Amino acid sequence: MSLKHVKAIVKKELSGYFGSPVAYVFIVIFLLLSGFFTFSVSRFYEMGQADLRAFFEWLPWIFLFLVPAVAMRLWAEERRIGTLELLLTLPVSITELILGKFLAAWLFICFALALTFPLVITVTYLGDPDMGPIFCGYLGGVLLAAALLSVGSMTSSLTRNQVISFILSVVICLFFTLAGWPPVTEAISAWAPAWLVDLVAGFSFVTHFQDLQRGIIDLRDLVYFASVVFFMLFSTAVVLDNRRSL
């Protein structure tokens, strides 16, 4: 694998994001939504607490819809306009392509996430927050984005239709999110044994994201996110390879 190739692909992808309205629409909507939920719905000011819990609690739900919207074009668009043929006949490996595209989208979302820095400034101005959980919360957000993106990359490789890719990936991500959401785990625990509840919750993005959000960096959570990303990107490679030898 050549880093030069990956770098070239990342550059090309990013120039594609910022060369079209996608990037700007995404960033504006993301910032508007996160601001709205943090300040208006969760009543950030009224709570009177110097932390970003209100923001991080909403983050998985905002990401649930916005990240698949970024990921849906990864492969479906290339297939639709025919440039996939160009890409796959260049002397690059599928691994380089998948990594390059994934990294570019990830960097882009991290950039959008970084633009929420006024929140951090606000809490440090208003109070004396514990920076640990805030840092971990952002780390969690970055990992969560990676996991959602990898799911989106897989669904995008399945089809030339971006809408189908989007819906599929939202549904899969919704499952991963809901599995650990308290109302759902409570409903399951009413009839299922505890180990099953834990197993289902263990698959959830939210469970692992919450640990980080509380300021705990647990190796298990990191391994979880890494394995989701690895598995989904590997599936992407399998799908793309299968399409070739259809």
Pick the piece of the chain touching another protein (CB under 8 A) from 10-18, 144-152, 153-161, 187-195: 10-18
- Closer residue to another protein (CB): 12 or 43: 12
Q: What does each C-alpha distance from 66 to 61, 70, 196 come to in angstroms?
A: 9, 7, 30
Name which position in 16, 35, 129, 215 contacts another protein (CB under 8 A). 16
Q: Which is nearer to another protein, 90 or 223 (CB)?
A: 90
Q: Is 234 helix (H, G, I), strand (E, B) or coil?
A: helix
- The single residue among 4, 126, 131, 187 that binds another protein, judged by CB under 8 A, is 4
24 lines the binding site for another protein (CB under 8 A): no
Over the range 105-124, which residues count as b (16 or more CB within 10 Å of their CB) and which as e?
bbebbeebbeebeebbebbe
CA separation for the pair 209, 145 (Å, rounded): 11
101: part of which helix (H) or strand (E)? Answer: helix 94-114
Q: In the complex with another protein, which residue's Cβ is closer, 7 or 220? A: 7
**Which tokens is 217 given?**
């960096």
Specify burial of residue 23 (Cβ count, 10 A radius: 0-12, 13-18, 19+): middle
Q: Whose Cβ is closer to another protein: residue 77's or residue 211's?
A: 77
DSSP 38: I
Cβ at position 23, least distance to another protein in Å: 10
The binder of another protein chosen from 3, 15, 130, 238 (CB under 8 A): 15
81 lies in the binding site for another protein (CB under 8 A): yes
Residues near another protein (CB under 8 A), total: 25
Does 49 bind another protein (CB under 8 A)? Our answer is no
- Closest distance to another protein from the beta carbon of 86 (Å): 6
Q: How many CB atoms lie within 10 A of CB 202?
A: 13
Using alpha carbons only, give the angle 18, 237, 81 rounded to the nearest 5 degrees.
Answer: 45
Q: Which of residues 83-102 bind another protein (CB under 8 A)?
A: 83, 85-86, 88-93
32 vs 86 by CB, closer to another protein:
86
Is residue 40 within the footprint of another protein (CB under 8 A)? no
CB of 181 to another protein, least distance (A): 37
Sign (positive/negative) of CA torsion 230, 234, 236, 237? positive
Tell me whether residue 86 is exposed, middle or buried, using C-beta atoms within 10 angstroms of its C-beta: 0 to 12, 13 to 18, 19 or more.
Answer: exposed
CB of 71 to another protein, least distance (A): 17
Residue 127 to residue 146: CA distance in whole angstroms: 31
| Chain contacts with another protein (rule: CB under 8 A) | 4-5, 7-9, 11-12, 15-16, 19-20, 81-83, 85-86, 88-93, 244-246
